[in-house]
Amino acid sequence: MAARTTYKVTIHNQEVPLEFENSDHEQYFDKLKEMKAFSEWCSTIDPEFIVKKILVQSVDMFGSRMGFVKFKGDVTDKEDRVIPSIVFMRGASVGMLIVITCEEDKKQYTILTVQPRVPCGKYALAELPAGMLDSSGSFVGAAAKELKEETGLDVKEKDLIDLTEKAFKGTALSQVYPSAGGSDEMLRLFLYQTKMSRTQLEDLEGKCTGVLEEGENIKLKIISLHELWRAAPDVKALSALCIYENLLARRELPIDYITGL
């Protein structure tokens, strides 16, 4: 077997060797360095970690852009204890909790997207509307864009409330980590509240949405907001609902969001 080519990346001001398990993926080294999630991981990883080597095991390109990367690190702490370090890297995502007040009965509803999810083996998994952060790096912009694509709702960025930012105000945190043992994925969760007639709500139920070119095959599901906690086995939904309810209880949302529209 031919020896692997060794590349270098900078972590904690030290050059760390990086190799590709599949030599065909070596052509993506420059794309990997440009990948926002990877570059931020290298520059912000806690100094308690000693990264001795990185082995890139697989690469998935989204057109000309680096999509998903799986790598294994040789990582210890300062006591030379080995730290588990298999990483599925996908970067930042956004999730949106939509709270709809029905004009007729004043009851509150929310929208779930139902779509096939091969990784968890579910053909019709109910989730909050969500999407990956785009190249602009704007969380609120990505949230507005995904709401339009997945629900058809045309939402202005100024009408979105960053729930995670409010929840972690005064700390170094601004996101939640749904699978920290295996993935770098971080989520920013947003709130959008509006009002609709009963007819408008009924028109949304079962509506087919999504970007077919991106493999999205989505149907919308309208449920009572009070049933969300047991209607979707989705960490985005449960996290957003937990933060939303706690902010409401503490009256830390704008008054219109507390009293209704």
* pLDDT tens track for 195-230: 999 999 999 998 887 654 555 578 999 999 999 999
- Output the average pLDDT for the chain: 91
Q: What is the pLDDT confidence band of residue 174, given thresholds at 50, 70 and 90?
A: confident
Question: What string of H, E and C letters represents the secondary structure of 150-208?
Answer: HHCCCCCHHHCEEHHHHHCCCCCCCCECCCCCCECCEEEEEEEEEEECHHHHHHHCCCE
C-alpha–C-alpha distance, residues 102 and 108, integer Å: 6
176, 164 contact by CB (below 8 A): yes
Q: Write the class of the CATH domain 92-259.
A: alpha beta
pLDDT on residue 176? 95
pLDDT on residue 137? 66
Q: What is the pLDDT confidence band of residue 85, given thresholds at 50, 70 and 90?
A: very high
* pLDDT tens track for 91-105: 999 999 999 999 999
Mean pLDDT, rounded, for 73-84: 96
Q: What is the pLDDT confidence band of residue 64, given thresholds at 50, 70 and 90?
A: confident
pLDDT on residue 152? 87
C-alpha–C-alpha distance, residues 35 and 60, integer Å: 12
> Which residue intervals of the chain bear CATH 3.90.79.10?
92-259
The two tokens of residue 176 are 């939640």
> Which amino acid would we find at residue 19?
E
